[in-house]
Homo-oligomer: A and B are copies of this chain.
Amino acid sequence: MPDAHTLGGMMERIRALLTVIEEGSVNRAAVRLRITQPALSRQMQALENELGGKLLERESSGVKPTGLGHALVKSMRPLVGSYDAALAELRRQARGERSELRVGYLFSAAQSMLTPALAKLRKSQPEVKLKLHDMSPREQLDGLRAGELDLALIGQEGVTAASEFHSTKLCSLHVCVAVADDDPIAAQKNIALKELKGRDFIGVDEDQVPGRNRWATALCKSAGFKPRFAVVVDGISNVLSQVVSESAVTLLPGYFEKLQHPGVTFVPVSDEKARWDFIVLWQKGRASAATRALVDALKQVAVTLR
């Protein structure tokens, strides 16, 4: 029940009217609401003025709803109930008690880290309701911005957006270059970035993997050349096919070495600066216990994977 000093809006007056109709008496309802009868009487009048019609028939034995009063009860009672439930849930969430955790991630990048972290979370917070969404980095960022995700596991693409959310770097992977099996580079144990000067690069659509091309460009620039993107494809899964068919190269985070792709060889880059960061982003404001627990679990798993 709101205290006397928050009874200022229509919703509060509507709530009071529901009580009056239930009691059939302004006086008894006032006792229930812990205000005086005259104050409540005036609230009822104010509500009638605001709606433009009588809601109550006044009699010496109490009050009875008019047709309009009945209609208000019918339409507003469920609404008030939903509103109260929503407020209660928001207050719970504000206290960090949100039990739902919506996680966005890219499977190929995150599964080796996410799976053990979720196991830890399941142990420490068994009541958490997880919603896992396999999505591209772009979708992850959009989901966070729209408030549809609580947390995202994202790579280098998330670095530019990190200031919009809370963020923590989990680990930094080395970089490898993908080449066709019959490429001379495929026989090397590793490669320096400058050896890629003059080669055709395959880029990724900015819309799907924001910042990937800029990252590759920055690395090559630090090695003294500017990469030429012969083709820009619309998804990571198409990059490796184009590497083969175009006799081109592309820079990828080291986790790709674990993926088998016919006709493609991954060669580690030896440059110290060639790193790919893996970070976790979560919403600003107070984080729920579930969110904090998952972030902690991810940090622990990241340490073991180094």
Give A residues with C-beta under 8 Å from B. Answer: 6-12, 50-55, 57, 64-76, 79, 82-83, 86-87, 89-91, 93-95, 98, 146-148, 150, 164, 282-287
Contacts and interface: CB of A to CB of B under 8 A. Distances in A.
A62 B146 CA distance: 17
A164 to B, nearest CB: 7
Provide the main secondary structure of the chain A interface: helix
A20 B127 CA distance: 34
Contacts of A12: 9
A230 B282 CA distance: 80
Contacts of A75: 86, 89-90
B285 A69 contact: yes
- Most B C-beta atoms less than 10 A away, residue of A11, A67, A147: A67
Contacts of A70: 146-148, 283
Contacts of A53: 91, 93-95, 285-286
Contacts of A51: 87, 90-91, 94
A71 B93 contact: yes
Contacts of A64: 164, 284
A102 to B, nearest CB: 10
A66 B283 contact: yes
Contacts of A86: 75-76, 79
Contacts of A65: 147
